[in-house]
Chains A and B, each alone.
Chain A
Amino acid sequence: MDVTPPKRSRPRIDRFAVFWASPSLVWQVAFFVAPLVVLVWMTFWRVKNFKLEQDFIPDNWIRIFSSGFFYDAFLYTFWMALVAAVLITLIAFPAAYALAFIASPRTRTLAIVALITPFFTSYLVRIYSWQIILAEKGIINGVLGLAGISPVNIIGTSTATMVGYVTLALPLVLLIQLFSLSMVDKRLVEAAYNLGCGPLKTVFKVVVPSARVGLVIGGTFAFLFAFGDYVSPLFLGGSKPPTLSILITDQVKSGNNWPRAAVVAVVMVITLMATLTVMSAVAYRRRGGAR
């Protein structure tokens, strides 16, 4: 009876797999790794008379890391992305849950189409329409004015930036959540009911843990989108306070300082990779196991 647990055998890397994996590996090397190497290299160049010169000096790193505005921008960007991840995950979940568990197959299909459509419309166009809605004399304030409420200042604030982030990432997060919730074993939900666990509690005790991978990956995508976005902080947030993406363009625009911009970019890439690593570990963490 006491069968020892099956050892997870390491998947054998065979030639067939290598053959089929090679195109995507080549793609990754050509369009991700190579530019990254160049980017890192560029952080050690110098700018003289607004002209880029190859070199190997640490000055750019020292300069960026000794300036207070960099830390402010980093913390602000990180915080905004974190809030966006949590907020978007929370906004998406009830809708994804309703679509996965309550909606008819027809409604679900329609919703999926509606969620994919935004990917084919320009993000910039959607942001412009938010400008119109949120503007000082925009639609929201117009409605508030009719109700006799004094206008609120939304455009040019972090709130407006956040609206942009939600616009950007919500459809994808909702789709990821919907797919992972659709895969939840309905029998586990019934098993929970059968053991005396009510419907609301079952959502948190069974559905959420079952869909953990999708929920974490969805939130992580929201973070990545928000952390790297340039359009929302510029057009809706009015660049104040600046995010790291704004900082990059500032470095380039004022003084053509590509190496310092590269330093900021490298910091962003490292942050994103670290976040991705940590969050995948969280998503795929195994429960139970020898204790």
Chain B
Amino acid sequence: MSVPIMTLDKVRKSYGDSVAVHSIDLEIAKGEFIALMGPSGCGKTTTLRMLAGLDKPSAGEIRMWSRVMNDVPAWERDTPMVWQSYALFPFLSVLENVEFGLKQRRTTDAVGRRAKAMEWLDRLGIAGMAGRGIDQLSGGQRQRVALARALALEPEVLLLDEPLSALDAHLRVRMQTELARLHGELGITFVYVTHTQSEAFAMANRIVIMSEGRVQQIGTPQDIYRAPATRFVAEFIGASNILSGTLKESGAGGIVIENALGRFRSAGATGIAVGQDAAFVIAADKIALTRAADPAEPGLDAVTGTVAAEEFIGAVVTIHVDLPDGRSMFVQKQQNEVGRLGLARGDEVRLAWHPQDTFVIPG
């Protein structure tokens, strides 16, 4: 990575005794679409507000290019934000809202300003609303005004705080597509806060998973999905099974974890010492599902259990399987694959997987 457009260097934010953000290190590259994701209260908004200069870090350094930004007031920065609540000015018309930031810049005269604001309204498909008051707009239209107001400044970095959370599901998907398209066309760096996985995975180049004010993992959607670094990430993403046990072997031949269900192999290395608690993670769609009576495929690790429930979401079926020791696992398959098996509740099944598809996290 060349010089990052924004850098968070051991940034911390505390309010009295409570710490909102512990110590975040993050480098954001120019043109990236980076998503900060995590459950409510994990410090996403606080992080974004520090990037905007609305909150001051209690410790650490925030840099834009190589300039230290800690003491630069918000109004002298170029990091407009799209707010969760939109924060549009109700006493101004749509057009005046979009012109607001441009007016502060004083780079153009009134005519140029108006033209620019209209251009952005047009680009977001709401040019017809220019003369309206904010209270005369639907939620989706407000969202577009908020975007136009920020983008009209043509900033290097756009900050977005759960911008789609107030929209209904249908509109949310449309706006996702549109945001991704805008990002592609403009080459602006997007820092996008969300607690919704689908948004982050659909749009971001890179995802930062946060929990309780700490970064849990930074990686591409692929990395996060396939190789969650911690139990928290694995559970938060929810796409994988986590089976805990004790680390029995660790060496050139791979890793072996043992629990009540048996011994399970995993490829790759880990920093966990032999004898310690560990868990291995296997993605739900990497598991082969067969009837327990069918012959086992050699070279795979497997467990057997009984079918507890099936869930259909579109063409994908999630099958929950109860294991003999009281745990359960889930498998995700295309509907046509499962249909062949003709499973019913209570049927004995075998779940099998390649050891290479698993990896180990601390217990």
Taking Cβ atoms with an 8 Å cutoff, the residues of A that contact B are 1-3, 5-6, 185, 187-188, 190-199, 201-202, 205-206, 209-210, 212, 286-291
CB <8 Å contact, B52 and A194: yes
Contact A3 B131 (CB under 8 A): no
Task: Given A197-B104, A209-B91, A210-B91, check contact A1 B140 (CB 8 Å).
Answer: yes
* Among listed B72-80, B275-283, B348-356, interface-contacting one: B72-80
Q: Which of B101, B125, B136 contacts A195 (CB 8 A)?
A: B101
Knowing A195-B149, A287-B91 touch, does A5 contact B137 (C-beta < 8 A)? yes
Q: What distance in Å separates the Cβ of B258 from its nearest Cβ neighbour in chain A?
A: 54
Interface presence of B345 (CB below 8 A): no
**Complex Cα–Cα for A191 and B75 (A):** 10
Contact B128 A288 (CB under 8 A): no
Question: Taking A198-B75, A288-B136 as contacts, is the C-beta distance between A193 and B93 under 8 angstroms?
Answer: no
**CB-CB under 8 A for A288 and B138, given A196-B75, A210-B91:** no
Establish whether residues B89 and A191, one from each chain, have CB atoms under 8 Å apart when the complex forms: yes
**Residue B105 at the A interface, CB < 8 A?**
yes
Indicate which residue in B80, B89, B138 contacts A206 across the interface (CB closer than 8 Å).
B89
CB-CB nearest in chain A for B137? A5
| A202 vs B80: C-alpha distance when bound (angstroms) | 16
Least Cβ distance of B93 to chain A in Å? 4
Q: Which residues of A contact B90 (CB under 8 A)?
A: 210, 287
* Residue of B with least CB distance to A193: B74
Residues of B within 8 A of A188 (CB): 87, 89
Which residues of chain B come closer than 8 Å to A1, judged between CB atoms? 125, 140-141
Establish whether residues A187 and B136, one from each chain, have CB atoms under 8 Å apart when the complex forms.
no
- Nearest B residue to A186 by beta-carbon distance? B87
With both chains docked as a complex, state the minimum distance between the C-beta of B302 and any C-beta of chain A, in angstroms.
51
Contacts beyond the supplied A2-B128, A194-B75, A289-B136: 15 A-B pairs with Cβ under 8 Å: A3-B138, A3-B140, A185-B87, A187-B83, A187-B85, A194-B52, A194-B80, A195-B100, A196-B76, A196-B77, A209-B91, A210-B90, A210-B91, A288-B134, A288-B135
- CB contacts (< 8 Å) of B77 on chain A: these are 196
Please, which residues of chain B bring their CB within 8 A of the CB of A191? Answer: 81, 83, 87-89
- Alpha-carbon gap, A287 to B105, bound state (A): 24
Chain B residues lying within 8 Å of A290, measured Cβ to Cβ, are 131-132
Known: A185-B87, A195-B100. A190 touches B132 (CB 8 A): no
In the complex, 10 of the A-B residue pairs with CB atoms within 8 angstroms, ordered by the A residue number, are A5-B136, A190-B74, A195-B80, A195-B101, A196-B76, A287-B92, A289-B93, A289-B131, A289-B133, A289-B136
Contacts A286-B133, A288-B131, A289-B132; A192 near B100 (Cβ below 8 A): yes
Report the bound CA distance from A289 to B87 in whole Å.
19
Determine the residue in chain B with the shortest Cβ distance to A194.
B81
Q: Indicate if the CB atoms of B75 and A199 lie closer than 8 Å.
A: yes
**Does residue B153 face the partner (Cβ distance < 8 Å to A)?**
yes
B-to-A contact residues, CB < 8 Å = 52-54, 73-81, 83, 85, 87-94, 100-101, 104-105, 125, 128, 131-138, 140-141, 149-150, 153
CA distance A290 to B136 in the complex (A): 10
Cβ of B76 to closest chain A Cβ, rounded Å: 8
Bound-complex Cα distance A191 to B150 (A): 10
Could you tell me the distance between the alpha carbons of A284 and B182 in the complex, rounded to whole angstroms? 38
Q: Is the Cβ of B75 less than 8 Å from the Cβ of A193?
A: yes
Say which residue of B78, B92, B101 sits within 8 Å of A288 (CB atoms): B92
- Cα A205 to Cα B134 with chains together (Å): 16
Closest B residue by C-beta to A199: B75
How many angstroms from the CA of A2 to the CA of B134 in the assembled complex? Answer: 14
Instruction: Give chain A residues whose Cβ lies under 8 Å from the Cβ of B78.
Output: 196
Q: Are A190 and B54 in contact (CB under 8 A)?
A: yes
CB distance from A19 to the nearest CB of B (A): 31
Question: Is there contact, CB below 8 Å, between B54 and A193?
Answer: yes
Pick the residue among B54, B91, B140, B141 that contacts A194 (CB under 8 A): B54
Residues on A with C-beta less than 8 A from B138 are 3
Q: Looking at the assembled complex, report how far the CB atom of A46 sits from the nearest CB atom of chain B, in whole angstroms.
A: 54
CA distance A237 to B150 in the complex (A): 56
Pairwise interchain contact A291-B140, C-beta atoms closer than 8 A: no
CB distance from B117 to the nearest CB of A (A): 12
Which residues of B have CB within 8 Å of A212?
A: 91
Which residues on B sit within 8 Å (CB–CB) of A190?
A: 54, 74, 87
Question: Which B residues lie within 8 Å of A286 (CB)?
Answer: 133
Chain B residues contacting A194 (CB-CB under 8 Å) are 52, 54, 74-75, 79-81
The interface centre, meaning the residue of B104, B105, B125 with most chain A CB atoms within 10 A of its CB, is B104
Given contacts A185-B87, A187-B85, A195-B104, contact A287 B153 (CB under 8 A): no
In the assembled complex, the CB of A105 is this many whole angstroms from the nearest CB of chain B, namely: 15
Q: How far is the CA of A1 from the CA of B141 in the complex (A)?
A: 8
How distant is A267 from chain B, measured CB to nearest CB, in Å? 35
Task: Note all chain B residues with C-beta closer than 8 A to A193.
Answer: 53-54, 73-75
> Within the assembled complex, what's the spacing in Å between the Cα atoms of A291 and B140?
22
In the complex, chain B residues whose CB is within 8 Å of the CB of A202: 75
Q: Complex Cα distance A155/B134, Å? A: 52
Q: Which residues of B contact A210 (CB under 8 A)?
A: 90-91
3 nearest A-B residue pairs (beta carbon): A288-B133, A195-B101, A196-B104
CA distance A6 to B79 in the complex (A): 33
B140 touches A287 (CB 8 A): no
Q: List, in ascending order, chain A residues with CB within 8 A of B153's CB.
A: 195-196
Contact A3 B132 (CB under 8 A): no
Chain A residues lying within 8 Å of B149, measured Cβ to Cβ, are 195
| Shortest Cβ distance from residue B229 to the other chain A in the assembled complex, whole angstroms | 33
Q: How far is the CB of B103 from chain A (nearest CB, A)?
A: 8
User: Which residues of A are found within 8 Å of B104, using beta-carbon distances?
Assistant: 195-197, 201
